[in-house]
Amino acid sequence: MKNGKSLMAAFVVFLLGGCASFSEDGGTRQVNDALRTRGITQQAPWIKNQDDATRAGDQVRALLAQPLTADNAVQIALLNNRGLQAAYAELGIAESDLVQAGRLRNPGFSFGRTHRADDVEYERTFIFDLMGLLTMPLRTELESERFELAQSRMAANIMQVAADTRRAWISAVAAQQSAAYAEQVKSAAEAASELAQRMVKAGNFSKLDQAREQAFYADAAAQLARARQQALAERERLTRLLGLWGNDIAFKLPERLPDLPPSLRDIVDIERQAMQQRLDVQAAVRNAENIANSLGLTRATGYFSVLEAKYIRNSESGQPRKTGYEIELRLPIFDSGSAKLARAENTHRQAVNHTADLAIRARSEVREAYGAWRSSYDLARHYRDDVVPLRARISEETLLRYNGMLMSVFELLAESRQQVSAVINAIEAQRDFWLADTTLQFTINGKSPGTIAASGSSLRAAAPAAAAGH
C-alpha cells in the first residue's frame, strides 16, 4: 500500500511539472503597455502567420496612399520592418526557456532480466530527478526575470526603430525641401549669367563681372546636383527603415517640415524621469538582480549538481517480491564547484558596476539632450522670427532702390544671394530642432542615443557660396 502511495505521489509531481504552458500573446501585451506609457501610440504587432502579414500589408498600403507624415512613417516601420520582426524571435526564445524551466526532466525507467539455472530475476527501476524538483521554483523565477528582460529589450528595440524612422523622415523632408530651394537658386543664377552675357556684348558690363556671374551659376548647378543626391540618400535611408520595395517606394513626402511649436513644453526633473523610465537602465537593474538570484542557485547547487531518487521493484522465481528506493548523489571529489561559483560572483560584480556606469551616463546624456533641445529651438526661432524677416526687408528695400534706378540689377541679384544662406540656415535649424526633440524623448524613455548632436546631414549643399556672387 505504501509503495502504491509512493508511486502516486511521484506521478502527481510529474504531472505538476508538466503543467507549464505558453501565454496567448507571447508576452507582447507587456511590451505594448511599456510602449504606451512612453508615448508610442502606434501598433507594433508580432507577425506570426500569413493572416497577420496580410492585415499588416493592407494597413501599410492604406498609409502610403496619402502624403507620408512622421507618425504614419513610424507606424509603417513598426508594421513592416523585418529587422524588428526578427527581434521578436528573441521574445519567443525567452518564453520557451521560461516554460521549460517550469517542467521537470522526464522520469526514467530501467528494466533488467537475469537468470541462473531455473531461476529468473527481474529488476525494474523508476528514476526521478529530485534535484530538478527542489530547484524548480528558483529556476522558474530566474527564467521569469529573463523573460521580463527580453520584453524590456523588445520594447527598447521598437523605440529605437520608431526614433530612427522619425529622424530619417525629418532628414528626408528637410533634404527634399533644400533640393527644391537649390533648384530655384540655380534658375536665378542661370538668368543672371545670361543677362551678364548680353550686357557684355552691349558693352555695358565688364568681363570680370561676367566671369563672377558665370562662376556663381556653375557653383549653383553643382550644388543642386549635390542637394538632389543628398535628398535621394535620405529618402533611401527612410525607405530601408520602412521596409519598402517595388512600387511602394514611390511614396510622397510633405513639401516642408512642420512649423515650430509656439513654445516648448515643460519638462521637469528629467534625470529622475530617465532613471524611472529608461528601458536600458531598467534592463540593467533587472539583469543585476537576475544574476544575483542565479548566484544563489549556483551556491545552492555548487557541491551537489545531481540528485536522483529511484524506486526499485525486483522479483525472482520462487522468491518474495523485493521493493525499495535508491538515492544517487554525485560526490564533489574532483570538482568542488569553486570555479563555477567564482565565475558567478565575478559576473554579478560586473553587472552591478555596469548598472552604475549606465546610470551615470544616462543622467549625463539626458542633460545633454535637454540642452540641445532648448538651444536648437531658440536658434530655429531666431532664424524664423529675426534673421529671415530681416533679410526679406533688406531685399524689399533693395528692390525699391532698383525700381528707383538707384541700384543696378546685379546689386539686386547680389542681395538675393545673401538670402540663400539665411534660408538654408533656417531650414537646418528647423530640422535640427525636430531631430533634437526626437532624441530627447528617446533619451528619457528608451536607451542611450549615442552621439547627441543633430544626426541629420548638412543641407549646405543647397547653398552656393554667397561670396561667389560679389
State how far the Cα of 380 lies from the Cα of 314, in Å rounded to an integer.
89
CA distance 11 to 126: 11
pLDDT of residue 432: 95
For the entire predicted model, the pTM comes to: 0.76
Residue 186: domain span: 2-469
d(CA 29, CA 282): 18
CB atoms near residue 344 (< 10 Å):
20
pLDDT at 231: 93
- Total tally of structural domains belonging to the chain: 1
Nearest Cα to Cα of residue 336 among 305, 373, 297: 305
| Residues 218, 222: Cα–Cα separation, whole Å | 6
How sure is the predictor about 457, in pLDDT bands with cuts at 50, 70 and 90? very low
Q: Are 364 and 448 spatial neighbours (Cβ–Cβ below 8 Å)? A: no
pLDDT in tens, 377-434: 999 999 999 988 888 887 777 777 766 666 666 666 666 666 777 888 899 999 999 9
- The predicted model gives 66-70 an average pLDDT of 93
280/455 Cα distance (integer angstroms): 21
For residues 35 and 162, give the distance between their C-alpha atoms in angstroms, rounded to a whole number: 11
- Give the E-state strand segments of 287-419 in sequence order: 307-316, 322-329
**What's phi and psi for 202, nearest 5 deg?**
-85, -5
Evaluate if residue 1 carries a pLDDT over 50.
no
Neighbours of 137 (CB within 10 A): 11
Range from 44-53, 195-204, 418-427, 451-460 carrying the lowest mean pLDDT: 451-460
Report the distance separating Cα 213 and Cα 19, nearest Å: 83
At 295, list the grid cell. 548566484
Q: What is the pLDDT of residues 283-294, one digit of tens each?
A: 888 778 777 777
The conformational region for residue 243 under phi > 0 = left, psi -120 to 50 = alpha, else beta, is left
Q: How far is CA 354 from CA 42, 83, 358, 452, in A?
A: 32, 27, 6, 21
Q: Looking at residue 421, what is its pLDDT? A: 78
Query: What's CA 288's distance to the chain center, in Å?
Result: 22
- So what's the pLDDT on residue 378? 94
Q: Indicate if the pLDDT at residue 450 is higher than 90.
A: no
- Max CA pair span of the chain: 135
DSSP conformation letters of 186-223: HHHHHHHHHHHHHHHHTTSS-HHHHHHHHHHHHHHHHH
Q: Please say if the pLDDT value at position 213 is more than 70.
A: yes
pLDDT greater at residue 239 or residue 407: 239
- CA-to-CA distance for 240 and 163, rounded, in angstroms? 14
pLDDT at 444 over 70: yes
Radius of gyration of the chain (CA): 35
Burial 68-84 (b: 16+ CB within 10 A, else e): bebebbbbbbbbbbeeb
37-58 b/e (C-beta count within 10 Å ≥ 16 → b): ebebebebebbeeeeeeeebee
Which residue do the cell numbers 538668368 mark?
A: 191
Task: Encode pLDDT of 105-152 as tens digits.
Answer: 777 777 777 766 667 676 777 777 776 677 677 778 778 878 888 888
pLDDT tens-place string over residues 292-346: 777 665 665 554 454 455 555 665 655 666 666 555 555 555 555 666 767 777 8
Q: Kindly report the CATH number assigned to the domain that includes residue 155.
A: 1.20.1600.10
The letter for the amino acid at 16 is L
Task: Check residue 106 and give its pLDDT.
Answer: 75
Alpha carbons 162 and 277: distance in angstroms, whole number:
17
pLDDT of residue 192: 75
